[in-house]
Structure 1
Amino acid sequence: MSDIDLHYLSQCYGRAFASCELVVPGVNRTYRLAAGGDVYYLRLYRPVGRSPAEIAFELRLLREVRPTPGLDVARPIRTVDGADCAQVLFGGVGRAACLFEALDGRPITDGPEDVALFGSALAKLHDALAGIGGGGARLLDPAALCARAAASLASISGSEAAQRAIDRCRAEMLGDPAAHGLPSGNCHGDARLANAIVQDATVGFFDFDDCGCGPYLLDLGTAAWHFALGDPSRTAALIAALLEGYGSERPLSQAERRVLPHYVKLAEVRSLLFLAEFCTLADGLWRRVLDRATNLLERELTI
């Protein structure tokens, strides 16, 4: 039995939804819906932390992304009244909900060929999103993100070492001349293999909930961070494949290559920020999360 009113959603979107399955629980809830043989995805936005202006910017990006060979995105669908979102009652609280087209394809593997393809598609995505206005609603400023993360952790017991490590990362980034004036624009915000699929060499991206305007390295650093958390024996090869693929579409400058380690660490900082602001973790889990983060932030990363 679904916790979503399918009859109401069917009226909102002019589709006869026959089934609804929760596929991603958590802060944002994502459901797979079926109607007349077609599949859709519904995101129930978090009740706090996403303003209407931020949601509107995300959906504008997805509607205005320039058609590009080898690239696709999960596009949003308006309600029958032309609204970006429907208002759905969940747990007694009204939440914004958006319906998205389903992309066809297979998951992207962590093999070098797929990772290189993902990297080239990420560069295409940056180009296809360039020039779409409204990014002021979601500025991804590295220094501000670090400061916000350290402040958010202040209420977490035992987080002092992590806070100090974040402050050092922020100071190192601000003090590095190469970290200023980097190529910037609209970013996916959570660029990782799990947020993309591939079909016939076309990579489709979805889950732009963390999108915003900032240095393009923010997306590359996020993807590289996920590799850094995996098998250490494969990290270097996977990051090399990612950068090779990206560079085939937009070569990185020497300054970008030099400061990429800052952005791998920034991905860890952003993860801590999300957990501190929106999640409730047991003390034991917080200790493990903080220890891992502090270890990575204090390491000398070579890419």
Structure 2
Amino acid sequence: MAELVSKRAQVARNRRTAVQALADYAVDEPRLSFVAHGENTTFRVDSRDGRFLMRVHRPNRHGPGVDSRVAVGAELDWLAALRAETELSVPSPVRARSGEWTTVADGRVCSVLGWQGGRMQAAHPKAVHFRRLGGVLARLHEHASGWTPPAGFVRMRWDWETFFGNTMEYGGVSAADCWDLLPAPVRVQFDEVARRMRIVMADLGTQSDAFGLIHADLHLENALFDGDAVRIIDFDDCGFGYWLYDLAVPLWDSHHRDDYPAYRAALLEGYAQHRDLPGLIHLDDFIATRYVAVGLWFAGMAQVNPAFAADLDKTMDYVRRSLDQML
């Protein structure tokens, strides 16, 4: 593994990029506060015009040959449509002075969103949080099913090749190389999930009853709760995929909890109140697929991000133990 640049140095560099990018937005007297450094580096922006989220996007995030600026712009097109056409609480995309959704600074694509308030409940979830999240997912899918994306709309396609092939880059590392970074027992498990999912996905097909535009990362850390309201954040992974995968995502990291059966029932109940449930016989297969996606992502990110590198062994052990139970 190449020598890692310290997290502090990476964040400082991206902060300079964010400051440069903000000059392209009508945000008066911005003050930046660091939020997170993962796929993207994000900063809270406080200004006389309000509070915003600035994202400095990682290059080559959206698959080979995909222009990151086009892909991020497509994400923001969907957010704008959700805000205009539904009552779902999603971030408000902010246009640059140029009229575009994004700008480029220091060679990095940057974007600005309105700030979303609320509390995360990932540490101490209750069944009610999963029920509300299920309702949100159903309404999100209902909109996606009836929405016609604008011309030039480009997002990731969460199919077998993306999950198990060499489509993605994680932390700048190709997916194939990430497979080679896995501990041998985890690699065996991932190969078994890939074998099963080739059959499952072929059986489901990609018609609208099974497949459409999904959030793809709506776990409890990407939902903010404020009374009865649920505010959805982080559409960075949104793309075309299986409705079932969107239901698997909030369940995968609660799978080990004693309350998991109640969480699962609540999520599905919330969804069913708004939309027919897809073929639930394969839900556990998609939860296993989520473990693969997270494991590959973490292995790649550990090559460039010191925080991920420090937790790599622990995370791989968690994934191995979890899949032992599932498989």
User: TM-score under structure 1 normalisation?
Assistant: 0.85
1:105 and 1:23, CA in 2 relative to 1: closer, same or farther beyond 3 A?
A: same
1:177 and 1:49, CA in 2 relative to 1: closer, same or farther beyond 3 A?
A: closer
Superposed CA RMSD in Å reads 2.8
Query: How far is the alpha carbon of 1:103 from its aligned partner?
Result: 2.2
Which residue of the partner structure matches residue 250 of structure 1? 275
Distance 1:12 1:177 in 2: 43
1:296 and 1:147, CA in 2 relative to 1: closer, same or farther beyond 3 A?
A: farther
Query: Is 2:160 the partner of 1:142?
Result: yes
Distance 2:118 2:313 in 1: 38
Which residue of the partner structure matches residue 58 of structure 1? 75
Query: Is 2:28 the partner of 1:23?
Result: no
Q: What is the identity, as a one-letter code, of the residue corresponding to 2:283?
A: L
Partner residue of 2:114 out of 76, 97, 101:
101
Q: How does 1:86-97 map to 2 (within 5 A)?
A: 86-89=103-106, 94-97=107-110
Distance 1:73 1:99 in 2: 13
Which residue of the partner structure matches residue 67 of structure 1? 85
Residue 69 of structure 2 contacts residue 102 of structure 2 at CA under 8 Å; is this kept in 1? no
Query: How far is the alpha carbon of 1:64 from its aligned partner?
Result: 1.8
Partner residue of 1:77 out of 87, 91, 94:
94
Q: Paired residues, what number?
A: 291
Q: How does 1:1-303 map to 2 (within 5 A)?
A: 3-4=15-16, 8-36=20-48, 38-50=50-62, 51-65=68-82, 67-69=85-87, 71-89=88-106, 94-108=107-121, 110-130=125-145, 131-133=147-149, 137-142=155-160, 144-148=162-166, 151-156=176-181, 159-176=183-200, 179-181=203-205, 183-199=210-226, 201-229=228-256, 232-253=257-278, 256-280=279-303, 285-300=311-326
Aligned to 2:52, the other structure's residue is in SS state strand
1:298 and 1:37, CA in 2 relative to 1: closer, same or farther beyond 3 A?
A: same
Give % identity: 24
Query: How far is the alpha carbon of 1:261 from its aligned partner?
Result: 0.2
The one-character-per-residue Cα deviations of 1:140-186 (angstroms, maximum 9, x if unpaired) are 00354123487333431x62222221121121223348951352111
Query: How far is the alpha carbon of 1:275 from its aligned partner?
Result: 1.9
Which residue of the partner structure matches residue 8 of structure 2? none
Residue 75 of structure 2 contacts residue 155 of structure 2 at CA under 8 Å; is this kept in 1? no
User: TM-score under structure 2 normalisation?
Assistant: 0.79
Which is further off, 105-114 or 53-62?
Answer: 105-114
Aligned to 2:109, the other structure's residue is in SS state strand
The one-character-per-residue Cα deviations of 1:176-234 (angstroms, maximum 9, x if unpaired) are 489513521111111112112234533221111111101111111111102115xx211
The one-character-per-residue Cα deviations of 1:223-261 (angstroms, maximum 9, x if unpaired) are 1102115xx2111111211111111111314xx211000
Unmatched 5+ stretches in structure 1 = none
Distance 1:209 1:221 in 2: 17
Residue 131 of structure 2 contacts residue 269 of structure 2 at CA under 8 Å; is this kept in 1? yes
1:132 and 1:194, CA in 2 relative to 1: closer, same or farther beyond 3 A?
A: farther
1:57 and 1:244, CA in 2 relative to 1: closer, same or farther beyond 3 A?
A: same
Query: How far is the alpha carbon of 1:21 from its aligned partner?
Result: 0.2
Aligned to 1:4, the other structure's residue is in SS state helix
